[in-house]
């Protein structure tokens, strides 16, 4: 494959500078394919999973287009809306956007549930170039008239398959009904089941499709193996053994089926000198964020999650 540079994709100097600061040297395949299309304002269906660089693929052209606009949007109005299924993903997308758009004077915000409304009211009241939101909290704001989607020019649905799996179809329908038909729309999804195909047909106009790896496949960098274990206690001991065997001890993410199981495994591992925390829906948003940041910093190297 011929490799391209970010400059060749048509990105502007201020964005190229930020990418250099972030040490993004070459575009990932999804970025190489999407950025030129999005700079031409095409509707797009992107089939890519997390870890492929899809956030920058949609965020960089969006930031470039918005940075050419003069003036802030009027109060409560939003120019670009990015919907994400979870709070964590929404926060991460917003964090990336802030890094890519540093110095470009765009107004951006992220809103999700589980936290207070006061600061969200304030941010929305000022008008936003880019709003990243989870569907539930956005509906709450629409019902309170604290946000207007009349001025949305670009709509991006990230992890659309997860949004439908989580039961957000009615919320999406309601949100889309408030957005002008004349807009640019992009959808990203790891898989293309029938319900996603149908959603794409209703939302996108003459879309380009970009697919970077076969749907439902896993990232190449991940080595996978299966261990057969007979008992519950055997699983715990094996987990401990695998942690001990790590050649380069780093951060470890463990998934369990139940919340209770996650709590028990985390306290077992912590008792064996592997500081672990359990993250799941019973924990408050504040605690979940704290756990994620302690995991990122390496303070708690093992995270057990449902
Ligand atoms: P994403 O799939 O958007 O969640 O991105 C996965 C990770 O790759 C994130 O940590 C990005 O900051 C990083 N990333 C995205 N694009 C590039 C790139 N072209 N070069 C280096 N890192 C990148």
Separation CA 120–CA 103 (nearest Å): 23
Å from CA of 282 to ligand 1 middle: 30
In the 8-state DSSP scheme, what is residue 85?
Answer: S
pLDDT at position 297 is: 86
pLDDT at position 245 is: 85
Of how many residues is the chain composed?
Answer: 306
**Burial (CB count within 10 angstroms: exposed 0-12, middle 13-18, buried 19+), residue 63:** buried
Å from CA of 4 to ligand 1 middle: 16
**Burial (CB count within 10 angstroms: exposed 0-12, middle 13-18, buried 19+), residue 306:** middle
- Stated as kind and residue range, the H or E segment containing 267 is helix 259-271
All domains in the chain, ordered by first residue: 7-211 (3.40.50.300), 232-305 (3.40.50.300)
For 175-221, the pLDDT digits (tens) are 999 999 999 999 999 988 999 999 999 999 999 999 986 544 566 66
Closest atom, ligand 1, to C-alpha of 96: 12
pLDDT at position 215 is: 42
Helix axes 87-100, 54-67, angle to 10 degrees: 50
Å from CA of 69 to ligand 1 middle: 26
Shortest-distance Cα residue to atom 11 of ligand 1: 53
Shortest-distance Cα residue to atom 13 of ligand 1: 53
pLDDT at position 218 is: 62
pLDDT at position 2 is: 56
Å from CA of 2 to ligand 1 middle: 20
Separation CA 250–CA 72 (nearest Å): 44
Closest atom, ligand 1, to C-alpha of 48: 2
pLDDT at position 74 is: 93
Residue 97 to residues 58, 128, 264, 302: CA-CA distances in angstroms?
10, 13, 37, 28
CB 155 within 8 A of CB 183: yes
Å from CA of 88 to ligand 1 middle: 16
Shortest-distance Cα residue to atom 6 of ligand 1: 51
Q: For the chain, list residues with pLDDT below 70.
A: 1-2, 213-221, 247-249
- Stated as kind and residue range, the H or E segment containing 210 is strand 208-211
b/e per residue, 31-56, with b = 16+ CB within 10 A?
A: bbbbbbbbbeebbbbbbbbeebbbbb
CB 23 within 8 A of CB 76: no
Shortest-distance Cα residue to atom 1 of ligand 1: 53
Comparing CA positions, the residue from 132, 96, 97, 138 lying closest to residue 117 is 138
Å from CA of 31 to ligand 1 middle: 10
pLDDT at position 224 is: 81
Residue whose CB lies within 8 A of the most ligand 1 atoms, among 22, 24, 53, 292, for a mutation test: 53
Å from CA of 239 to ligand 1 middle: 29
Residues with CB under 6 A from ligand 1: 24, 27-28, 31, 50-56
3-state secondary structure of 76: coil
Å from CA of 45 to ligand 1 middle: 19
Shortest-distance Cα residue to atom 22 of ligand 1: 24
Residue whose CB lies within 8 A of the most ligand 1 atoms, among 25, 28, 186, for a mutation test: 28
Å from CA of 242 to ligand 1 middle: 28
pLDDT at position 284 is: 87
- Stated as kind and residue range, the H or E segment containing 142 is helix 135-143
* Non-local CB neighbours of 194 within 8 Å, separated by 6+ positions: none
Separation CA 61–CA 63 (nearest Å): 5
């Amino acid at each position: 494959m011929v490799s391209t540079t970010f400059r060749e994709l048509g990105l502007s100097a201020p964005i190229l500078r930020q990418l250099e600061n972030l040490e993004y040297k070459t575009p990932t395949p999804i970025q190489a394919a999407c950025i030129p299309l999005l700079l031409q304002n095409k509707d797009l269906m992107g089939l890519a999973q997390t870890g492929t660089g899809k956030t920058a693929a949609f965020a960089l052209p969006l930031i470039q287009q918005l940075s050419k606009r003069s003036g802030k949007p009027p109060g409560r109005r939003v120019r670009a809306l990015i919907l994400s299924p979870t709070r964590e993903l929404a926060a991460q997308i917003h964090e990336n956007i802030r890094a890519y758009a540093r110095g470009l004077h765009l107004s951006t915000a992220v809103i999700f549930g589980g936290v207070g409304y006061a600061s969200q009211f304030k941010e929305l009241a000022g008008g936003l170039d880019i709003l990243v939101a989870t569907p539930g909290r956005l509906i709450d704001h629409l019902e309170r008239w604290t946000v207007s989607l009349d001025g949305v020019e670009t709509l991006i649905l990230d992890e659309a398959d997860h949004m439908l799996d989580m039961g957000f179809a009615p919320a999406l329908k309601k949100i889309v009904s408030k957005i002008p038909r004349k807009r640019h729309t992009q959808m990203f999804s790891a898989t293309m089941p029938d319900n996603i195909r149908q959603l794409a047909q209703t939302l996108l106009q003459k879309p380009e499709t970009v697919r970077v790896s076969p749907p439902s496949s896993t990232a190449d960098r991940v080595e996978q193996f299966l261990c057969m274990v007979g008992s519950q206690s055997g699983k715990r001991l094996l987990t401990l053994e695998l942690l001990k065997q790590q050649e380069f001890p780093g951060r470890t993410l463990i998934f369990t089926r139940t919340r209770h199981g996650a709590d028990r495994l985390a306290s077992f591992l912590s008792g064996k000198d592997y500081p672990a925390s359990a993250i799941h829906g019973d924990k408050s948003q504040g605690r979940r964020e704290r756990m994620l940041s302690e995991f990122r910093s390496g303070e708690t190297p093992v995270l057990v999650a449902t």
